[in-house]
Amino acid sequence: MSRETLATFKDKSYAEVAYEVLQPFIGGTPDNDRFREILQSAYQAFEVPEVAPVVPLGGQHYLLELFHGPTLAFKDVAMQLLARLMDEALARRGRRATIIGATSGDTGGAAIEAFRGLENIDIFIFFPKGRVSDVQRKQMTTPTDSNVHALAIEGTFDDCQALVKDMFNDADFRQETGLAGVNSINWARVMAQTVYYFTASAQLGGPDKEIAFSVPTGNFGDIFAGYVAKQMGLPIAQLMIATNINDILARVLKTGIYEIGDVVASTSPSMDIQVSSNFERLLFEATGRNAGEVCRLMGELAEKRKFSLSPDVLDVMRASFAAERVDEVETAKIIKDMFETDEMLLDPHTAVGYGAALRSDLPTSTPIVTLATAHPAKFPASVEKACNRQAEEIIDTPERVQVMMKQDEKYETYPNELAGVQDFIRQKK
């Protein structure tokens, strides 16, 4: 994408920038006019016209607010578009699809909100029992639409994600149910998330100025979208991988060893991950698109629970990425300090991102944008504990969330067993 094109983005709406960025990936289906209509419809669901406004924090630090969608999380930005594109394609072909997805918290609610009530789609979302916040769970379990099914799996997010992968690898089941996926392994999710890197850059002087981004990172989809934006020509100084105590991504960038450990529950549950699916995409790029080498490494991971990167591959990654681990104590301190000093509340994931941004070794003249991936109302217990204040005193909880929290829930609990979950899907679709 040329610098001349990038320079025009500062005068365009979010939907207009999205059209310029995404249209080359669409391939004429839907046609250009219909694609513009779909984009306008998708982003009308957001509470602010900018969709993803940039807010100054002081000095060269900024927040990119991605929580103004229907479920108060960055996942809405991509999911609202993905649902409309899939429904359009299915209707045109006269087909139905069964959506399956694993969630560590936000993806499930965003997917259910986007796909609920659609005639051509059934959606099944798997979440780890007891490992999501109350708000996140309620966003998945209170919708009453007949095409929505939430399942609490007795295991971790990685277990939920493994169920999804195993179902897609079962050719007979995939064909029988018409499976489709909405996790960040779905390219359309990554594609849609590239847009806000472009709009943030435009708001801060790009393309004449290089911008850095600090991204709370779990499954690696959001930050990989930033890498895609950079490959498309957006001047990005650095992509900071911000991890919590589940720090496999920080460790691999520092040591070159990708080794799976145990998942530890934290106050930022959407990042409680050890196997980051989209890291495989970065491996593909960093190895010079050597599919055989990626297959070898992933096979080694499955067998030995770890692999080592060559110095050349590690150098390619470090040319674009840095990484920092922010622990629970520091996360709580950042939430408390930001509230007391600036009267600004951060959710725990955003606090991890900001903590990593503060450690960047970039020149102080480089703007650093932390992606604010969720509204603090989604994590009231964590915010309350960090600030030592009652949540209702300090969090401006949207009315729709207050209403939702009083509604009845509808979900099933299943053990981490593939056959049982597959039988449930067969019965319900």
Q: Is residue 169 in some structural domain?
A: yes
- Look-up of token digits 């310029």: 20
The amino acid at 420? G
**Res 270: pLDDT:** 86
On whether the CB atoms of residues 204 and 61 are closer than 8 A, the answer is no
pTM for the model stands at 0.91
Residue type, 48: V
Q: Are residues 253 and 315 in the same domain?
A: yes
- Residue that wins the pLDDT comparison between 182 and 414: 414
Q: Judging by DSSP bridges, how do beta strands 236-243 and 321-325 pair with one another?
A: parallel
Alpha-carbon distance 69 to 47, whole Å?
Answer: 6
Position 28 scores a pLDDT of: 81
133 burial (CB, 10 Å; 0-12 / 13-18 / 19+) is: buried
Q: Tell me 370's DSSP state.
A: E
- Has residue 358 been placed in a domain? yes
Percentage of residues of the chain with pLDDT beyond 90: 89
Per-residue tokens: 387:
């600030």
Q: Tens of pLDDT along 233-285?
A: 999 999 999 999 999 999 999 999 999 999 999 999 889 899 898 999 999 99
Position 22 in a domain: no
Task: With respect to residue 16, please indicate whether it lies within any of the assigned structural domains.
Answer: no
Query: What is residue 391's predicted lDDT score, i.e. its pLDDT?
Result: 87
Choose the catalytic residue: 12, 75, 378, 429: 75
Tell me how far apart the alpha carbons of residues 215 and 195 are, in angstroms, rounded to a whole number.
Answer: 15
**Torsion of the alpha carbons at 36, 197, 400 and 153, rounded to the nearest 10:** 100
Asked if 211 and 314 sit in the same domain, the reply is: yes
Q: What is the pLDDT of residues 348-394, one digit of tens each?
A: 999 999 999 999 999 999 999 999 999 999 999 999 999 999 988 99
Rounded Cα–Cα distance for residues 363 and 358 (Å): 12
Residues 193, 59 share a domain: yes
Residue 118 sits in a domain of what CATH number?
Answer: 3.40.50.1100
Is the Cβ–Cβ distance between 320 and 229 less than 8 Å?
no
Q: What's the confidence (pLDDT) of residue 53? A: 98
Mean pLDDT across the chain: 95
Total domains in the chain come to 2
Judge if 117 and 231 occupy the same domain. no
Q: Tell me the three state secondary structure of residue 425.
A: helix
Q: Are residues 151 and 195 in the same domain?
A: no
Same domain? For 249 and 348 the reply is: yes
Instruction: Tell me which H or E stretch contains 63.
Output: strand 61-65
84/66 same-domain check: no
Residue 44 domain-assigned (yes or no): no
Residues 278 and 378 in one domain: yes
Domain span at residue 130 reads 74-186+407-428
**Under DSSP, is residue 102 helix (H, G, I), strand (E, B) or coil?**
strand
Inter-residue contact 10 to 202 (CB < 8 Å): yes
Q: What is the DSSP string of 238-272?
A: EEEEEE-S--HHHHHHHHSEEE-------S-GGG-
Q: Is 75 a catalytic residue?
A: yes
Helix axes 348-358, 328-342, angle to 10 degrees: 90
Domain match, 266 and 299 both: yes
Asked whether 52 and 64 are in contact (CB, 8 A), the reply is yes
Whether residues 292 and 156 share a domain: the answer is no
Q: Closest by alpha carbon to 185, among 292, 259, 99? A: 99
In a domain, 119, yes or no: yes
Cα distance between residue 405 and residue 407, in whole Å: 6
Residue 364 belongs to a domain: yes
Confirm whether 421 is domain-assigned: yes
Q: What angle do CA 105, 174, 99 make, to 5 degrees?
A: 35
- Which pLDDT tens digit goes with each residue over 301-356? 999 999 999 999 999 999 999 999 999 999 999 999 999 999 999 999 999 999 99
The answer on 149 and 260 residing in a single domain is no
**Same domain assignment for residues 242 and 141:** no
Report which of 148, 69, 136 is spatially closest to residue 104, judged by C-alpha positions: 136
